[in-house]
């Protein structure tokens, strides 16, 4: 089996669903169910004996040690994190606690477990750490995309906490020989994303005819990766990636935020013509402090070594994604209640 952390969040739940659709190996899913974790994401797995869900904290070392001992995983796939830049600006402490100390706790327990394995199992074991393009900092308009050797230059508390965790993962390979692999991916989009992030936030606001808050001048550039393409890349890296290596994973779809928002508006205009034009809802608001201007990924290494490339195109992927949210309004209503509302106030009221 494999031990997945954060498998009730956006990417983690897509990964668990995709893994169990493609593979026979069972999954033990350790997730603390913070505001971002949602068991509804995994409802398709109810009754599937290959999936065991454990609510718990990656910082609970006794729990992690017990799960490793009892389930004897062949790999740990580590998604659990605090993942939203704006929240890291309002409250960085949780990011250090989960992303840095939590990853450290997990590495320590993985190392102890790994040392207890037979030589043949030790050689097969993998610790796959999921990270982000944001660790590399910000690019100018004409800079080449990030490669695996681009120096780290994180700018937000979120990016700094992920960078710190990447360094720990690297050190556990270099010092102890733990067979780690790190993947750094660009902005994911697709089903089950919590509506604090750009894409689902814009879809939901547009449906409610609320303003679409674009930070600054809207010309910040991100590279958009369909979540299932990301999941496939992680599966491949787990199976065939080389221990100690890092792999960049990008969607080959650089867009300004304004292009993304206008694309969503155009899709909604086509699907809900009575409410068109949605673009009139766009509202430029105060910029994010320290807002990185541009991210872009060179995925040449994972393409050349593992034969991976993104399958989804930006236009079809966005269309599918908007349709998914429209078709899953009970899911949306559920996550957009309660604590979500106070976050919207915290982040947008004074912009
Ligand atoms: P998410 O915020 O949607 O989900 C995070 C999950 O981790 C949640 O289910 C939460 O309950 C769980 N979690 C948080 N703290 C925990 C703890 N202490 N113990 C156990 N579980 C805990 O995040 P996501 O968007 O799915 O991102 C997954 C990973 O991918 C993160 O490591 C993130 O940094 C990375 N990443 C995400 C993106 C993106 O576009 N979403 C891009 C690059 C990298
Ligand atoms: P986000 O989805 O938070 O991802 P990240 O910060 O990890 O890239 O934001 C994507 C881009 O969209 C980023 O440049 C910030 C911008 N943005 C807005 O303009 N308005 C918003 O309300 C949000 C949440 C993000």
Q: What is the pLDDT of residues 247-303, one digit of tens each?
A: 999 999 999 999 999 999 999 999 999 999 999 999 999 999 999 999 999 999 999
Ligand 2: centre distance to CA 198 (Å): 5
Domain count, the chain: 1
User: Is the distance from the beta carbon of residue 214 to the nearest atom of ligand 2 less than 6 Å?
Assistant: yes
CATH of the domain at 138: 3.40.50.720
Ligand 2: centre distance to CA 60 (Å): 31
In a domain, 270, yes or no: no
pTM score, whole prediction? 0.98
- Ligand with an atom nearest the CA of residue 195: 2
CA-CA-CA-CA torsion sign (38, 43, 44, 46): positive
In a domain, 134, yes or no: yes
C-alpha neighbours within 13 Å on the C-beta side of residue 23 = 19
- Mutate-to-test residue for ligand 1 from 4, 8, 10, 54, highest number of ligand atoms within 8 A of CB: 10
pLDDT confidence tier of residue 134, bands split at 50, 70 and 90: very high
In a domain, 247, yes or no: yes
Neighbour tally for 291: CB within 10 Å: 15
In a domain, 326, yes or no: no
Name residues whose C-beta falls within 8 Å of residue 206's C-beta, 6 or more positions apart in sequence.
212, 264, 265, 268, 278, 281
Residue 339 pLDDT: 87
User: Is the distance from the beta carbon of residue 106 to the nearest atom of ligand 2 less than 6 Å?
Assistant: no
In a domain, 40, yes or no: yes
Alpha helices, DSSP H only, in 197-338? Answer: 198-207, 227-240, 257-271, 300-306, 314-327, 329-335
User: Is the distance from the beta carbon of residue 196 to the nearest atom of ligand 1 less than 6 Å?
Assistant: no
SS3 259: helix
pLDDT confidence tier of residue 341, bands split at 50, 70 and 90: confident
Name residues whose C-beta falls within 8 Å of residue 127's C-beta, 6 or more positions apart in sequence.
75, 76, 78, 107, 110, 114, 169, 172, 178, 179, 180, 181
In a domain, 325, yes or no: no
Residue nearest to atom 10 of ligand 2 (CA): 198
Give the structural domain span for 178: 2-192+224-253+290-311
Q: Is the pLDDT of residue 317 over 90?
A: yes
Whole-angstrom Cα distance, residue 296 to residue 147?
Answer: 9
User: Is the distance from the beta carbon of residue 85 to the nearest atom of ligand 2 less than 6 Å?
Assistant: yes
- Ligand with an atom nearest the CA of residue 100: 1
Q: Is the pLDDT of residue 337 over 90?
A: no
């Amino acid at each position: 089996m494999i031990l997945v952390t954060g498998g009730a969040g956006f990417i983690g739940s897509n990964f668990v669903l995709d893994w169990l659709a493609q593979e026979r190996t069972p999954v033990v899913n350790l997730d603390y169910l913070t505001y971002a974790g949602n068991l509804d994401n995994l409802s398709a797995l109810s009754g599937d004996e290959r999936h065991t869900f454990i609510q718990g904290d990656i910082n609970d070392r006794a729990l992690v040690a017990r799960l490793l001992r009892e389930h004897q995983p062949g790999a740990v796939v580590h998604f659990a994190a605090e993942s939203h830049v704006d929240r890291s600006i309002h409250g960085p402490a949780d990011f250090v606690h989960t992303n840095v100390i939590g990853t450290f706790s997990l590495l320590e327990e993985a190392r102890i477990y790994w040392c207890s394995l037979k030589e043949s199992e030790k050689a097969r074991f993998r610790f796959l750490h999921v990270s982000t393009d944001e660790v590399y900092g910000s690019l100018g308009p004409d800079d080449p995309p990030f490669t695996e050797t681009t120096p780290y230059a994180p700018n937000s508390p979120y990016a700094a906490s992920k960078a710190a965790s990447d360094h720990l993962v690297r050190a556990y390979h270099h010092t102890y020989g733990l067979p780690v692999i790190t993947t750094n991916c660009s902005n994911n989009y697709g089903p089950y994303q919590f509506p604090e992030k750009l894409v689902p936030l814009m879809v939901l606001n547009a449906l409610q005819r609320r303003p679409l808050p674009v930070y600054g001048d809207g010309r910040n550039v991100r590279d958009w990766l369909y979540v299932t393409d990301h999941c496939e890349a992680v599966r491949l890296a787990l199976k065939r990636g080389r221990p100690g290596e890092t792999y960049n994973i990008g969607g080959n779809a650089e867009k300004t935020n304004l292009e993304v928002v206008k694309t969503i508006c155009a899709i909604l205009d086509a699907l809900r013509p009575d409410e068109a034009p949605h673009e009139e809802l766009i509202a430029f608001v105060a910029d994010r402090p320290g807002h990185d201007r541009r991210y872009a990924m060179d995925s040449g290494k994972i393409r050349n070594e593992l034969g991976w490339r993104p399958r989804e195109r930006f236009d079809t992927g966005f269309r599918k994604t908007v349709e998914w949210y429209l078709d899953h309004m009970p899911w949306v209503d559920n996550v957009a209640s309660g604590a979500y509302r106070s976050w919207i106030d915290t982040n947008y009221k004074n912009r």
